[in-house]
Amino acid sequence: SFIAAAQDKLTVGVDTAFVPFEFKQGDKYVGFDIDLWDAIAKKMNVSYELRPMDFGGLIPGLQSRNLDVAMAGITITDARKQVVDFSEGYYDADLLMAVKGSDNSITKFSDLAGKKVGLKQGTAAASFMKSKYKADYVEFPNIDNAYLDLQAGNLDAVVHDSPNVLYYVKTAGDGKVKATGETDSILPQQYGFAMQKNSSLTPKINAALQALRADGTYSKIYVKWFAKQP
Ligand code: GLN
């Protein structure tokens, strides 16, 4: 009789650049998602290989069954739930603006009117901003290039997920750029791992996530990357 082969390696799609959740350091990917996923895979006793790509390729990659799992601090939304499964939420975020350290003209999202603003293609932040706030938007497949354009003076602001903006600003150093817009609490959201629709992996990943919360591993990984308790 046919016996299912031992589970092959899972193919896990990962965003090329979303500090501090997944980013390249030397020749390997590091970050909160990378560590949390590795702990989940160990609990599930599965092996996997990472497949880095622009954010916009991840959900299509699940739909075409080229990926088993995708991670990128992916915002859980009703629209995306129509086409992929999500794990339970594992991180809370909202949106922030990065501006130049010397710029005091932008403190609220409504101050972006008439400004040149970087967004990341295909993200929840980009579609929300374009529908709710008028500005001169420029979209980038890779948010790091938007931050470089801000530093170079080609943009007035970059809007992206709060943990990404905060980590970028902290590591850019010297007050060259700063985060602003905290009081607006724009687009509160949760991140989840994404799987193919009706994947048999979804309940297993949720069970592993719960076990990692219960045994302290989740907190340990959180403190490592965010220097505070979850
Ligand atoms: N949270 C964003 C979204 O799902 C993606 C974050 C990122 O740039 N990877 O739209």
Atom of ligand 1 nearest to the CA of 124: 10
Bridge partners (DSSP) of residue 71 are 14
| Structural tokens at position 50 | 């990472």
Q: What is the pLDDT along the chain (230 residues), one digit of tens a residue?
A: 455 555 579 999 999 999 999 999 999 999 999 999 999 999 999 999 999 999 999 999 999 999 999 999 999 999 999 999 999 999 999 999 999 999 999 999 999 999 999 999 999 999 999 999 999 999 999 999 999 999 999 999 999 999 999 999 999 977 899 999 999 999 999 999 999 999 999 999 999 999 999 999 999 999 999 999 99
Tokens describing residue 129: 């901003």
Q: What are the φ/ψ torsions at residue 21 (nearest 5 degrees)?
A: -90, -40
Judge if the beta carbon of residue 13 lies within 6 A of ligand 1: no
Q: 83 CA distance to ligand 1 centroid (A)?
A: 16
Is 22 near ligand 1, meaning CB less than 6 Å away? no
**Cα–Cα distance measured from residue 172 to residue 103, given in angstroms and rounded to the nearest whole number:** 16
pLDDT recorded at residue 7: 53
Residue nearest to atom 10 of ligand 1 (CA): 123
DSSP letter, residue 142: S
> ipTM score of the complex?
0.98
Confirm or reject: Cβ of 75 under 6 Å from ligand 1.
yes
How many angstroms is it from 175 CA to the middle of ligand 1? 25
